[in-house]
Amino acid sequence: MKILVFVKQIPNTSEVRLDPKTGNLCRDGVESVINPLDRNAVEAAVQLRAAHGGTVTAITMGPPQAAEVLRKAMALGCDYAYLLSDRAFGGADTLATAYTLAEAAKKIGGYDLLLFGQHSADGDTAQVGAAVAAFLDIPQVTLACSIECSDGWAVCSRELKDCVQSVRVKLPAAVNVTAAINEPPYALPMNILDALNKPITTWNAAELGADTSKTGTPGSPSATKRVVEPKKSNAGAEYFTGSVKEMAARFVDMLENEHLI
């Protein structure tokens, strides 16, 4: 199998600032990490490779420093990595991002399965994977908590609010996975060192063959009109003293007074 897994670099902090003019995150000086749910997608890809053979390729779009998440993905088991980096990609909304990622999938070609984390921790839209599938005109499955592939088909379990749904789709297909699909491992020190020596292929807009009217800000039909940061406040804390039995009784009384029980 040839699996493409899409990963995103996100800020490693809740103390992010927003640009009041563009509505975009200000990432300068903020440490970045791989999006948590993308780790699940990487592990799902690695497990499928172990079962069926083939390769796993990680793809991300971002500035040059986004290569760090690709190093992380390779340390977690990906064989190859592609970085889509160009000023023409900057300011992209989910549609423009999906177009750019879809163009990368087309250029790589020959894929059987595209894997995404269900959503990113910073944007939380859960739109990119579905939009990539639409650009590529392939079937998609969302909320997948398991994937099994055989004979050119994928069978996925979808974790819904009140049931688990089984879906069968013809490959190639795109699948968005939830955290329930697996428990991503920590990268071993030896694998981290190996990842440092693996090449990363970088494509700009021209090398990708992308229509720049569809990338970045020009290709983004949605825009942020106004940004408001919520006021931060410190919640009051109440401390209980006494024996365990006395503190438990006071705690229950507090919950009753707050109508929480």
Q: What is the pLDDT of residues 104-159, one digit of tens each?
A: 999 999 999 999 999 988 877 899 999 999 999 999 999 999 999 999 999 999 98
- Model pTM score: 0.82
Q: Which domains does the chain have, with CATH numbers?
A: 2-208 (3.40.50.620)
> Per-residue pLDDT averaged across 54-77, rounded?
96
What does the pLDDT look like over 168-178, one tens digit per residue?
999 999 999 99
Structure tokens at 57: 């390729």
Q: Which residues pair with 174 in a beta bridge?
A: 114, 140
pLDDT at 230: 66
Range with the largest mean pLDDT of 11-20, 116-125, 198-207, 241-250: 198-207
Specify the pLDDT at position 22. Answer: 60
Helix intervals (H) in the chain: 36-52, 67-75, 94-108, 128-136, 189-197, 205-208, 244-257
Please tell me whether residue 240 adopts helix, strand or coil conformation: coil
Q: What percent of the chain has pLDDT over 70?
A: 89
